[in-house]
A and B are shown apart, each in its own frame.
Chain A
Amino acid sequence: GNSVTQMEGPVTLSEEAFLTINCTYTATGYPSLFWYVQYPGEGLQLLLKATKADDKGSNKGFEATYRKETTSFHLEKGSVQVSDSAVYFCALTSSGGSYIPTFGRGTSLIVHP
């Protein structure tokens, strides 16, 4: 079956620090990969996505590259801000029959001024 593994949080950083949140996956077929962000009390919002190998998704300074050889989709940002404090979820949907989005457990990011 499909599964997504994320690094455990919380990740605590100072403002302007470099961010990496690791994500690896197992999937049937050819998955599409996503990062979602959840702010306190809110639903999940799509942050970025990549639908095939070597694609790079990017948005609001965040980037992630679809690495088929390592089955990874790590999230990075060069300089985080306090407003980036949230929970980040890595997810996939697979072309192998089921449309059900599969999520990692989420990684909490806390950015201090």
Chain B
Amino acid sequence: NAGVMQNPRHLVRRRGQEARLRCSPMKGHSHVYWYRQLPEEGLKFMVYLQKENIIDESGMPKERFSAEFPKEGPSILRIQQVVRGDSAAYFCASSPPTSGIEAFFGQGTRLTVV
């Protein structure tokens, strides 16, 4: 059973471009979470999705950021018109719909905006 797969591992974008980060959850997991980690800081929750539904996006910036988890295919975190402050590591985690079960993390995508 493959783990949570994120790609790309590293992404470089120029200011103003779009960044698209992909996450394939573990098999059988219907819950996906996205977190952002800045250097020397902890994990900041961004968004919680289930298939075709955004459950909680309270941590998402109001502009330029969006996320989806379609019926088929990976979850996508999209950042439009990137700025230098978007440079960070973005982690995806998934879990089954059962309380008490830990979330499993991907290796992360390290976004650098130049």
Whether B91 contacts A99 by the Cβ 8 Å rule is no
Whether A100 contacts B102 by the Cβ 8 Å rule is no
List 26 A-B pairs, Cβ < 8 Å.
A32-B100, A32-B101, A34-B102, A36-B105, A43-B4, A43-B6, A43-B105, A43-B107, A43-B108, A44-B43, A44-B93, A44-B105, A51-B100, A89-B42, A89-B43, A93-B99, A93-B103, A94-B99, A99-B31, A100-B45, A101-B33, A101-B93, A101-B95, A103-B45, A104-B42, A106-B42
Tell whether A42 pairs with B107 under 8 Å between CB atoms, given A100-B45, A100-B48, A100-B56: yes
Interface centre among A45, A46, A103 (most CB of B within 10 A): A103
CB-based A-B contact count at 8 angstroms: 61
Question: Does A56 touch B at the CB level, under 8 Å?
Answer: no
Whether B91 contacts A43 by the Cβ 8 Å rule is yes
- Residues of A bordering B, CB below 8 Å: 32, 34, 36, 42-46, 49, 51, 89, 93-95, 98-106
Interface residues on B, range: 20 to 34
- Residues of B bordering A, CB below 8 Å: 4, 6, 31, 33, 35, 41-43, 45, 48, 56, 91, 93, 95, 97, 99-108
Contacts of B4 in A (CB 8 A): 43
Tell whether A43 pairs with B99 under 8 Å between CB atoms, given A98-B56, A100-B48: no
Contacts of A99 in B (CB 8 A): 31, 48, 95, 97, 99
